[in-house]
Amino acid sequence: MLVDLASDAEAFAALAALVREGGTALTTLYVANADDLEARGVTAVNFQLPASAELLQRVADALASGRVVAPPVTRISLAETPAVFAAGNGGAPDGKTVIVLGQGGSK
């Protein structure tokens, strides 16, 4: 199974080519060529969840009530990057890490 959240059509096609017959290739950017994939025996899924005021309100309510907790965000400078990731998974901060270009990071 391939779940791709970021690739354009060309990159997605290259990754989807690695999916075996009987597998599934899903994209959230709606770039899967369903005809090509299904001809190879791969289920193509172009997943899209249109934004709406109701959906955004539900997300806001879930965040406000604590049902959904945003991950911690650590900002580091480009210069700090090698040291932060040098220790492998043990050195990377929990949550999301944002590399800030052109200014110092702040943890």
Q: What's the burial of 99, exposed, middle or buried (CB within 10 Å: 0-12/13-18/19+)?
A: middle
Residue 64 has pLDDT above 60, yes or no: yes
Instruction: Please give the C-alpha separations between residue 91 and each of 1, 21, 78, 79, 80, in angstroms, as whole numbers.
Output: 29, 38, 15, 15, 12
**In this predicted model, which residue has the larger pLDDT, 34 or 92?**
34
> Tokens 């580091």 — which residue?
76
Q: What's the burial of 25, exposed, middle or buried (CB within 10 Å: 0-12/13-18/19+)?
A: buried
Q: Which of 3-17, 47-61, 76-90 has the lowest mean pLDDT?
A: 76-90
Mean pLDDT taken over the chain: 87
* Rounded Cα–Cα distance for residues 63 and 23 (Å): 34
Q: pLDDT for 10-43, tens place per residue?
A: 999 999 999 999 999 999 999 999 999 999 999 9
